[in-house]
Amino acid sequence: MTTGSSSTSRPTAADGISTFKGRERALSANRLGTGGLLLSVLAATAPLMVVAGVMPTTFAVMGIVGQPLLFVVLGVVLVLFSVGYAEMSRHVHNAGAFYAYISRGLGGTAGAGAALVALVAYNALQVGIYGIFGYEVSGLFDTYADLRIAWWIPALAAALVVGALGWLKIDVNARVLGVLLVIEVALVVIFDIAAVADPAKEGLSLHAFNPDTLTGAGVGTALCFCIAAFLGFEQAPVYAEETSRPHILVPRVMFLAVGGVAVFFALSSWALTVAAGPSAIVGESQKQSAGLLFSLTDSRLGGTFTDVLHILFVTGMFAALLSFHNVVARYAFAMGREGLLPAAFGRTTGASGAPGTGSLLQTAVSVVTVIAFAIADDKPAGDPTEPVLHLFTWFGNIGALGVIVLMAAASASVVVFFARRGAVGAQAWRLATSAVAGVALLVIAGYTVKDFDVLVGAGPDSSLSWLLPGIIGLALVVGVAQGLLLRARRPEAYARIGLGNEAFQLEKAAEEAS
């Protein structure tokens, strides 16, 4: 037996380094099953925040009783969108979901533009929630501890806790999100049952599902309000690399999420109309705003239940903060891995396999934004004007617009992706649903831009009506410019856009072959 050569070589230090680099450029697999993935994406929908905040605001601002029917209509549109989007998830497993899909169908330049839009949009959605979170927590301290604190103190504290959780294993995060989500959903269901058992003087009226309630100029804008309630279901492909069977689990979770959200919100908004009365729901919403739900529960379920609901209202927002934080961190990870952000973002952290640098980036953006709004806030503690009407409303609508645009682009990408592969016949019905959904989403995006002054509570002549949606436009332009620059100067990096971990595997195979 000789020692100079062997058909089976032993691992070397270099092999160990290569293996370590391979791990840190890929998210930890097999962390999430169907339940964990479903809870992670549903937490972003913040059901209690929608029922207590979005629904009364839509009734009050738009004066449309048929909000439950709008949730049904949007549910149909988003199911049509999910058909092609879910099929795409079987072919592409990448934490940069939206931009990965768009780059595969519409090219790397479009993908680079979509990547920056996604990063800005999800950051905006996450950061905006800190405003209403801080205000509600300060209100709890004032009510139950007779202690008045500025909104930005609990907001900053939450940002640090969310940032710390973002460094943990995703399955740990899923358990935290799951507990918070299940409790708040249970409380909303209890309210729904109580409303049906004790309706207003008009009884169990189904008037809110009458198509005649959707007439008027405000329907398009009401769609913009309501579609924001669904945001979160589209995040399932972001976690594809961390599931055991992404080609099965991701589509399953997407359909469960969008279907469940549509039914849950349609029934809950109908329960509000039943409890207040269809003829009175608009007036009561204008009078009580976010206090409507708590007023209705207080008269039916008592003060203790309402107190618990107030607390769960806050924990539900915290769950949404953590869910969006995880998504932003993974988008940053995917962009770093593919050269759209510095390489440091494209590496995972320690044994948790979490995208630590992306998590730090999102935490830094949150802290800086909250501090900036705190400095600009000249209102006394307890006044909601600055954090709620500005931070929450401005950033929430910026993020919603960005995601709507991304969904419309992804729908177009699905059609092009399968058409280029000669699969039009085999995928005909999926391409048709994607085309219909894409057109519908473009219409909603158009209404969102047109009525942005209404969405953010600014006057029609306010510069905010074009400055705020212009942030998404600027992100798109800068991202496209980056894509063009990469194509001209670093074609090897440009070729990796949208490939995710596949690009690393190809590089590794090329190195081994050479």
Q: Could you give the angle at which helices 246-276 and 281-288 cross, rounded to 10 degrees?
A: 100
Q: Which residues of the chain, if any, have pLDDT below 50?
A: 1-23, 30
Q: The tokens 């709620």 sit on which residue?
A: 388
How many CB atoms neighbour CB 86 within 10 A?
Answer: 22
In angstroms, the CA 25 to CA 34 distance is 24
Sign of the CA dihedral running 315, 316, 319, 321 = negative
How many CB atoms neighbour CB 481 within 10 A?
Answer: 14
Buried/exposed 20-32: b ≥16 CB within 10 Å, e otherwise: eeeebbbbbeebb
Sign of the CA dihedral running 90, 82, 408, 426 = positive
As given in the structure block, the two tokens for residue 50 are 């929608």
pLDDT at 7: 36
Residue 238, CB half-sphere, CA atoms under 13 Å: how many? 28
pLDDT at 213: 85
In angstroms, the CA 66 to CA 77 distance is 17
As given in the structure block, the two tokens for residue 98 are 């939206």
Check if the beta carbon of residue 232 is closer than 8 Å to that of residue 44: yes
How many CB atoms neighbour CB 506 within 10 A?
Answer: 13
Check if the beta carbon of residue 101 is closer than 8 Å to that of residue 92: yes
Q: The tokens 């469940």 sit on which residue?
A: 260
In angstroms, the CA 239 to CA 330 distance is 8
pLDDT at 24: 53
How many CB atoms neighbour CB 435 within 10 A?
Answer: 16
In angstroms, the CA 256 to CA 248 distance is 12
Sign of the CA dihedral running 467, 469, 472, 476 = negative
pTM of the model: 0.85
pLDDT at 219: 81
As given in the structure block, the two tokens for residue 497 are 């856009």
Query: What single-letter amino acid sits at 205?
Result: S
Q: The tokens 């913009």 sit on which residue?
A: 224
Q: The tokens 């971990």 sit on which residue?
A: 501
